[in-house]
Chain A
């Protein structure tokens, strides 16, 4: 049996999907598109079914790529049943898709989701009446607490009963029908303004909203750094220094005799068993955790949409719109994640601008962790300077691209959801998804990077590379020759270019220059397969060359400026 889960975006489809299917889900791209969908299985004593979480759609007459995919899936022919998820707090506009689905020759069952919120919003829906008007089973559900989901599953067989499909209607006929249904089933009682509405007003009106946004941004940044530093200093470092590294050191010392290169590779200057574990797990992981926690809270409360609206004008200057705030912020977590989420942008031109900026000047959480570890202990102003330079670069480079690239900027248009208390389970799940992809995909790369560094260092190759790069690293950037190893490792992972500097003894100016060069330098190796897949080889080569050139130019300028001033 094959079941499609369909509904408008943001109605709780994914939550219902994960509740129905459990853990065995597969996410894939719809053939020939960048639209992603997930597939899983529902098993009960009565039935086994494949369930597909179809991309959110408002209509069956596609207005975007996601809707095209939704319609193609529906028309694929082998669908036994559609579970139509609708948002009870926006019944009227959700019914448009419901009526369109009922005009197809496919059994439908309706999940009237977000049922929990109707009461305090003063919305009263006559369920029996609505069910009899739609002539298909209708179940009120609250996906986040599992309410109604059992009944939904138990009534699936009812939807199979053959119904005469409604004859297709025109748009006007549909809206007229919806108007009549709403009149019969929905009553809205007047209620007083709630606190969340006042908060909503305050955060969206520019006079109060802009100062609040600045405060929120500063607070978020401070919290990420505080949580990250706290975890590192008080939990992870003591743990690794206390319980993990000493036995490793003793063990290796006992087994591998002195003077053998293997010993140095394992526990020496770039020891794979020391730095290879310590960098990814005690240096980067705490910041990654902190970042995704704060981002999930901002997103799930509904604040990000308001930020998108406030920042729209700024984003317009760089050729995109407020909607780009989400891929942008995700880019501060992981460049790969940011590139993937940029698919949601309307045009290829916007994607190119956003992704180029991300590859050049947006530090990922791993790199932020490394930069903070490098700078915060020495000089907070230095840390601030690095971020201000990155911010100015993003603004200026974005404006230049907006001028150079042909095409126009699409208009901002989106719903601003009511404020909600984030669902703990949903937040935890989101964080786990991000962190697990880091642990299983990025960490092996970091270990590999440290391994390469150890070999280069212990064999003396690094010394020769240092001589090769000396004119640039020492002459132009004013860094010690040893820092050139960062330029090799930086190809593998963004934060490795910085981590190398941790082992050196640098002045404040050198720290700033090193951070800036590493920040603008080539994004990590995991980025390139995706760049090639999504934008082609030429673009990927452009990114490699431009990031190297820009990194050296920016580093050179800063080094020269400080040399002049001090």
Chain B
């Protein structure tokens, strides 16, 4: 089965983190900025030419370079309609 990675998301898409494909050190670095399995992330934008991806997680913005974004496995969820917009 094809896995969706963080960098597969497009702008505005929301997803749940399923798996962090790296060692404990990598997991800890991610967790330090709140990137953990089970968390919901929203892709804000990605920089051109395979530049970093900007995501929102728990109301913080985090820039993640390609090398790391490839190791974050996610599952996209249906966008929920916002009530106030």
Contacts and interface: CB of A to CB of B under 8 A. Distances in A.
A201 interface: yes
A8 interface: yes
A175 B36 contact: yes
B58 A8 contact: no
B65 A411 contact: yes
Interface residues of A, number: 37
A325 to B, nearest CB: 12
B50 A313 contact: yes
Interface in B35-85: 36, 44-45, 47-52, 54, 58-68, 84
Contacts of A204: 44-45, 54, 61
A326 B48 CA distance: 22
A205 B45 contact: yes
B21 to A, nearest CB: 14
A28 interface: no
A206 B45 contact: yes
Contact of B48 (A313, A321, A417, A418): A313
A415 B44 contact: no
A63 B52 contact: no
Interface stretch (A88-96, A250-258, A380-388): A88-96
B32 A416 contact: no
A194 to B, nearest CB: 12
Contact of B52 (A175, A322, A415, A418): A322
A566 to B, nearest CB: 39
Contact of A206 (B48, B66, B68): B48
Contacts of B60: 90, 415-416
A200 B61 contact: yes
A313 B66 CA distance: 10
B54 A416 contact: yes
B73 to A, nearest CB: 17
A412 to B, nearest CB: 4
A154 B51 CA distance: 49
A89 to B, nearest CB: 8
Contacts of B45: 201, 204-206
A298 B34 CA distance: 26
Nearest to A8: B32
B47 A313 contact: yes
Contacts of B59: 89, 121, 188
Given A92-B58, A412-B52, A413-B68, A309 B63 contact: yes
Nearest to A416: B61
A547 B48 CA distance: 35
Nearest to A200: B61
Given A415-B60, A416-B61, A312 B34 contact: no
A63 B28 contact: yes
A59 interface: yes
A436 interface: no
A58 interface: yes
A412 B29 CA distance: 12
B29 A63 contact: yes
Given A411-B68, A413-B63, A96 B47 contact: no
Contacts of B68: 411, 413
Contacts of B54: 204, 309, 416
Contacts of A192: 84
Interface string A381-421: 00000000000000000000000000000011111111000
Given A8-B32, A59-B28, A413 B64 contact: yes
A312 B48 CA distance: 10
19 contacts: A58-B28, A59-B31, A63-B32, A90-B58, A96-B31, A204-B44, A308-B63, A309-B52, A309-B54, A310-B51, A312-B51, A313-B49, A322-B63, A412-B52, A412-B64, A413-B65, A415-B33, A415-B63, A416-B61
Going nearest first, the 10 A-B pairs with the smallest beta carbon separation are A411-B65, A58-B32, A411-B67, A412-B65, A416-B61, A313-B51, A309-B63, A205-B45, A93-B34, A412-B52
